[in-house]
Chain A
Amino acid sequence: MQAMLLFAQPSGRTGAAANLAAWTAYMDAMRTAGVMRGGQRLAAPDAATTLRLKDGVRHVQDGPYADSPEQLGGFVVIEVPDMAAAVEWAARCPGAIDGAVEIRPLLPPPA
Chain B
Amino acid sequence: MSAAQAAEQAAEQAARGAYGRLVALLAARTGDVAAAEDALSDAFQSALRHWPGTGVPDRPEAWLLTVARRRLGHARRHRGVADGARVALEWLATPDSPVELPDRRLQLMLVCAHSAIAAEARAPLMLQTVLGLDAARIASCYLASPAAMAQRLVRAKARIRTAGIPFELPGPEALPTRLSSVLEGIYGAYGTGWADVSGADAAVRGLAEEAIWLARVVVALSPEPEARGLLAMMLHAEARRPARRSGDGAYVPLSQQDTALWSRPLMAEAEALLREAARAGTLGRFQLEAAIQSFHISARLTGQRADGALLALYDALADIAPTAGVLVARAAALAEAGHPAAARTALDALGPELAQHQPWWATRARVMALLGDASGAREAARRAAALTEDPAVRAFLLAGLFQPA
Contact = CB atoms under 8 A, between A and B. Distances in A.
A12 to B, nearest CB: 13
- Secondary structure at the B interface, as helix, strand, loop or mixed, is loop
A14 to B, nearest CB: 10
A43 interface: yes
B261 to A, nearest CB: 43
Range for the number of chain B residues in contact with chain A: under 10
A49 B162 contact: no
A48 B118 CA distance: 12
A44 interface: yes
B115 A60 contact: yes
A47 B115 contact: no
Interface string B160-204: 001100000000000000000000000000000000000000000
A28 interface: no
A28 to B, nearest CB: 23
A82 interface: no
Interface string A25-53: 00000000000000000011011110000
A43 B162 contact: yes
Contacts of B115: 58, 60
A46 B116 contact: no
A62 B117 contact: yes
Contact of A44 (B116, B118, B162): B162
A62 B162 contact: no
Given A47-B163, A49-B163, A62 B158 contact: no
Contact of A49 (B116, B155, B158): B116
Contacts of A43: 162-163
B76 interface: no
B118 A47 contact: no
Contacts of B158: 46-47
A43 B117 CA distance: 16
B152 to A, nearest CB: 11
B327 to A, nearest CB: 22
The 5 A-B residue pairs with the shortest CB-CB distance, nearest first, are A47-B162, A60-B115, A62-B118, A49-B116, A47-B163
Given A43-B163, A46-B158, A62-B118, 9 more contacts: A43-B162, A46-B155, A46-B162, A47-B162, A48-B163, A58-B115, A60-B115, A60-B116, A62-B117
Interface of B: 115-118, 155, 158-159, 162-163
Interface of A: 43-44, 46-49, 58, 60, 62
7 contacts: A44-B162, A46-B155, A46-B159, A46-B162, A47-B158, A47-B163, A62-B116
